[in-house]
Chain A
């Protein structure tokens, strides 16, 4: 069983469209994250949720809206996609109790044309 699973793995879409990426973890972790990895491999934190509550919200355009229906799921919805949104988006989860070791999903590669 995949511990942290993301769908879709690949997403190609036109500028201006709205798209969602879904993430689910079966590890029983309390905390989930979205990270963005750009073409230069910088991995930047976007959001973090603990037990459905938003705890980290980095300077991310408000076109990006995370949603956590329960602590096992964290979805990312992106409105009005722009070329600069093209990246690999990683979901991760961790137990809330320190130390905070992250388990990552395989990534979702978003290409905006």
Chain B
């Protein structure tokens, strides 16, 4: 069964704007990860946040995690056309960190 659910399903913004995507999950986790998928390609890992962390930054990416609400957000600042892709959150199972579950993803389109 799916663990994470991203929203919105699709997001369209202009270059230079910020993009925020959200993820909700159902069970306790050890960590939450965000991945990116360009059209016709495999997923690429972007950033990982552990369950005892609340915020993490990596370049133009900012991830937050609220374990009490079982939710996370991914913020991409100063977006570029090259950021156009689908973004997925993935969570492991607290009892089995190899059990990685993904949501359906948010399709981000950044218009030049």
Q: Known contacts A45-B101, A94-B98, A104-B43; can you find 15 more A-B pairs with CB under 8 A?
A: A4-B42, A41-B86, A41-B105, A42-B104, A43-B102, A45-B100, A48-B98, A55-B98, A99-B30, A99-B33, A99-B50, A101-B45, A102-B90, A103-B45, A104-B44
Seen from chain A, the residues whose Cβ lies within 8 Å of a Cβ on chain B are 4, 31, 33, 35, 40-45, 48, 50, 55-56, 90, 92, 94, 96, 98-107
Contact A45 B99 (CB under 8 A): yes
Cβ-Cβ contact count across A and B, 8 Å cutoff: 74
Give the residue among B90, B92, B102, B107 with the most A Cβ atoms within 10 A. B102
Contacts of A42 in B (CB 8 A): 2, 102, 104
Contact B100 A33 (CB under 8 A): yes
Report Cα–Cα, A25/B42, bound state, in Å. 14
B97 interface hit (Cβ, 8 Å): yes
Contacts of B61 in A (CB 8 A): none
Chain B residues bordering chain A, tally (CB within 8 A)? 28
Report Cα–Cα, A69/B42, bound state, in Å. 24
Contact A102 B45 (CB under 8 A): yes
Seen from chain B, the residues whose Cβ lies within 8 Å of a Cβ on chain A are 2, 30-31, 33, 35, 40-45, 48, 50, 86, 88, 90, 92, 96-105, 107
Contacts of B48 in A (CB 8 A): 99, 101
Contact B2 A50 (CB under 8 A): no
Contact B104 A56 (CB under 8 A): no
CB-CB nearest in chain A for B101: A45
For the complex formed, measure the closest distance between the CB of A59 and the CB atoms of chain B, giving whole angstroms.
9
For the complex formed, measure the closest distance between the CB of A31 and the CB atoms of chain B, giving whole angstroms.
6
